[in-house]
Amino acid sequence: MSKFARMAAIAAFVAAPLAALGSPFASLDDVDAARKRGAIVWDARPADEYRRGHIPGAVNIGDPTKVLRGTAREEFLPTWKIETILGAAGIDPSREIVVYGKRGAPQAYFGRFALRYFGADDVKVFHDGVDGWTAAGRELGTTPTSLPPAALRLNPRPEMVVSTEQIVAVGRSGADVQIVDVRSRNEYTGDDVRAIRGGHIPGAINIPYELNWRDPKTPAKLARGQVRDNGGMSLADRESLENLYSALDPFKETIVYCQSGTRSAVTAAVLEDLGFDRVKVYDASWLGYATRLDAPAEQEAFVNVGLLQGQLRALAGRLEQFERRFGAQMSVAEQR
């Protein structure tokens, strides 16, 4: 029996305080059953994609990673604003909820994480999303759904997350905690810098979130025309996921982070399904950690501001040339 199987057996007798009801994942059949029970179905895609076609009856507020967070620090808006946004859409965390987006979309997982953080217990992600729905021959709706508004009083669960101060303290104290960096390999090594500096939190293990898929190379294959659909972005089978995380201890506290807390929500859900019951999301993630210049980093790299400015100037020059050329062509066309 694997350690994950033993963990599941123990969990059957000792439920974690924050454990959701059952698996964090919903299959197509689960979605059908939930809809029949009157569950809320939340489409976590941008509003324009929702309008073009969605699971009938699904509600939408746009991309939750943008709607529920500030633009600068990409952290949650004040709780009263979250109450207003979700309440106006009728998305009540006390009810059963299924969240979906495109197949494998981190935005749907972030939506689930947000609901869990603000008090939801019965919320699942339909990983295959709108792609899985249409692949099964189901029809899409185009009429927007309006649910009755809900008067919400949300109670955040700070025990589900860690702050920048806490994760810096963990590093300095040498606490027995496992840290998982779910960003790309180049972000982890500092070759792809997306904040004030690049690199990773000391001791963090790099397991990119795409490795949770059946075929992590699917986006690249789609771009090259090697595959016709994104079916490879379906979740890998359980045995593969157990092997992927076999170096981790399910009994230890596990902190997951990415760039801004979106991709980490995917891996957090996977770990939860595997029986890890002490998973926390570092919501500010590398975007927050990088700003703490006193916080140690491995494979640290800084943004080359001079090079960046030169690239921006070159881009502006090309844009200006295009506008002049396009303007001249329009003038000729008008004269004709």
Per-residue pLDDT tens digits for 227-255? 999 999 999 999 999 999 999 999 999 99
Residues near 299 by beta carbon (within 8 Å), at least 6 away in sequence? 188, 189, 190, 198, 199, 200
Query: What Cα–Cα distance (Å) separates residue 259 from each residue in 73, 160, 165, 192, 314?
Result: 11, 18, 17, 11, 27
Give the start-to-end residue ranges of the domains of the chain: 19-156, 159-302
Do the Cβ atoms of 190 and 199 come closer than 8 Å?
yes
Q: Where does 19-156 sit in CATH, by number? A: 3.40.250.10
Q: How far apart are CA 265 and CA 243, in angstroms?
A: 20
Please report the pLDDT score of residue 96 as a whole number: 98
Tell me which residues of the chain have a pLDDT lower than 50: 1, 8-18
The domains spanning 19-156 and 159-302 adopt the same CATH topology: yes
% of the chain beyond a pLDDT of 70: 89
Please report the pLDDT score of residue 327 as a whole number: 66
Please report the pLDDT score of residue 173 as a whole number: 86
Please report the pLDDT score of residue 320 as a whole number: 82
Instruction: Output the six-digit token pair for 230.
Output: 């994104």
Please report the pLDDT score of residue 14 as a whole number: 37
CATH number for domain 159-302, candidates 3.30.1330.10, 3.40.309.10, 3.40.50.300, 3.40.250.10: 3.40.250.10
- Average of per-residue pLDDT values in the chain: 90
